[in-house]
Amino acid sequence: MQDAAAASPVGEDLQPGVNLAGFFRSENGLGEAARLLAAAVQGSGLAYTTRTYTRSPSRQGAPFTDRGDGVARYDVNLLAINGDGIVNFAADTGPAFFDRRYTIGAWAWETDRIPDRWAGSLEIVDEIWMPSDFSRAAVEAVTAKPTFTFPHPILVPPEPGVGRAAVGLPEGFTFLFAFDFFSRAERKNPWGLVEAFRRAFPQPGQASLVLKTVNGRNRALELERLRAVTGGRTDIRIVDEYMTADRLRAMIGLCDCYDSLHRAEGFALTLAEAMAQARPVIATGYSGNLTFMTEANSYLCGYHLVPVGDEAGFYSGSGRWADPDVEEAARLMRHVFEHREEAAARGALALKDVRRYHSLQARAGLLRRQLDWVRENRLPSCRVWGNDWAGASPALRAELQLVRDPMLDLPTRTGGAYGALARLARRAFRRLYMPYQLHAEEAGRAQVEALWRQVIETERLRRRIEALEAADGVEAPGDPTAADAGRVARPGSARSSEAAPREP
């Protein structure tokens, strides 16, 4: 991450162009989306510079070379950083990066409702780009700021150049699905796919299903659940490891059919990558993948909408998503297996559609036209943030401070009962807050803020008690949290909601 303090000229020195920031080295979907956006900016012919952001739990091994010297000298910021990471980026980068620049957030979201915790990010950006009309509609429901659909370009890779053994695929007819546990298994729904495969092929030996996963060791319970639903079938394999992008693309290109029984997708890059390699694709007929999938070029599975539910972790309470029809998915898997010429023809049409409608050249032209229009019509609306976010709302300023220094008021003393409490608090922060610092998906913002406020309130109470002891000889109570329980902010309470008002 580059030093921003000396890397942002004053507003009057700005030149026409793009300051592009994103997770360019992250080995995950957000990283790939950022790299695709960089390719589109480069193809547009616009002047630009890049800034790699690394606060992510994913491995930072993707090859990428930053362009420019790190100076944000252009008049438009384009941030390939999702709505739950913009505040982190702003706090790390500083207000000078945003001052007098038109800031666009290139985001993605997977359900039909944007979470309330994105309020601070909505305040920071001037415009939001989403990769599908589906995800754009979710943003438009919560803000009057300009929105724009900018689908990711779909690149057609070269032939794999290796055999199946080199990428860990079995011989014989093979279905494949790849996903990251950090992208939430509940949304990706691999157990639904396993159930569909088992119904399509009740006896082992006819076909194989490979589940290519990553970060399973960081989601041990979900990985064990996935292993359990396979029922010990040797024709269902789980491969949980990082691969280079080229090796993963080769794996996709060598499978016989790519499958996804997702509940919701903002775009679904791996489905697009499979179609770009002429693979027949079976997928839930819902959400962002319909940007490039049709009944003619793929196999769309039926579904019905259900509430996301409280057990969905990061997505809890975020509207509705699909419950795919497992029986129909099983029929489609069997159909592709038994009608391979038809499936190959559908895959060939998918590749044709990708080249015709979703190429890098097409997306670069779309990006250029939109940014030219922005420069002509919206640049006068750029805000003056001032030093230390003087132009921000009180709620956003508080959120930025929380991100910058979450341990600001924690005690340094380690002895006694209160020292034990402090050590417990620090361990809680390491487990709950620091993963959120690395990636906001690792903990709900409301829960993190509630924990932070509780620790700070407890420490303030301790200090008051110590002052009373010194002045009056009052003995400290054994449980300081009980005496002050009414002061703790809880998720959904009036106090916690004040920190993140929604801007219209």
**Block residue for tokens 């509705």:** 320
Query: From CA 186, how far away is CA 326, in angstroms rounded?
Result: 15
Q: Which CATH class is domain 164-358?
A: alpha beta
| Token couple for 134 | 């589906």
Residue limits of CATH 3.40.50.2000 in the chain: 164-358
Least Cα distance to 83 among 266, 330, 304, 289 occurs for 266
Residues, the chain, total?
A: 504
Closest of 143, 136, 134 to residue 116, by C-alpha: 143
pLDDT in tens, 36-67: 999 999 999 999 999 999 888 788 888 899 99
All CATH 3.40.50.11930 domain ranges of the chain, comma separated, are 11-153+362-389
Nearest to 491 by CA among 438, 435, 444, 439: 444
* Tokens read off for 105: 């957030």
Listed in sequence order, the DSSP H helices in 148-219 are: 164-167, 185-188, 190-200
Per-residue confidence in pLDDT tens, the chain, 504 aa:
444 444 555 545 789 999 999 999 998 888 999 999 999 999 999 999 999 998 887 888 888 999 998 789 999 999 999 988 999 999 999 999 999 999 999 999 999 888 888 989 999 999 999 999 999 999 999 999 999 999 999 999 999 989 999 999 999 999 999 999 988 999 999 999 999 999 999 999 999 999 999 999 888 889 999 999 998 999 999 999 999 989 999 999 999 999 999 999 999 999 999 999 999 999 999 999 999 999 999 999 999 999 998 777 677 677 899 999 999 999 999 999 999 999 999 999 999 999 999 999 999 999 999 999 999 999 877 888 988 898 899 889 888 887 765 444 333 334 444 444 544 554 454 444 444 444 444 444 444 444 544 554 565 566 567 666 666 654 444 443 333 333 233 233 332 333 333 333
The three-state secondary structure class of 60 is coil
Q: What are the Cα distances from residue 350, in Å, to 39, 79, 165, 277, 466?
A: 22, 30, 26, 9, 71
Place of tokens 């032939």: 159
How many angstroms separate the CA atoms of 252 and 271, rounded?
Answer: 9
Q: Determine whether 323 is exposed, middle or buried from the number of CB atoms within 10 Å of its CB (0-12, 13-18, 19+).
A: middle
Question: In angstroms, rounded to a whole number, what is the distance separating the alpha carbons of residues 53 and 444?
Answer: 21
Longest CA span, the chain: 89
Q: Model pTM?
A: 0.77
Is residue 271 a contact partner of residue 293, using CB atoms and an 8 Å limit? yes
- Paired tokens of 225: 């659940």
What's the CATH number for 11-153+362-389?
3.40.50.11930
DSSP state of 430: I
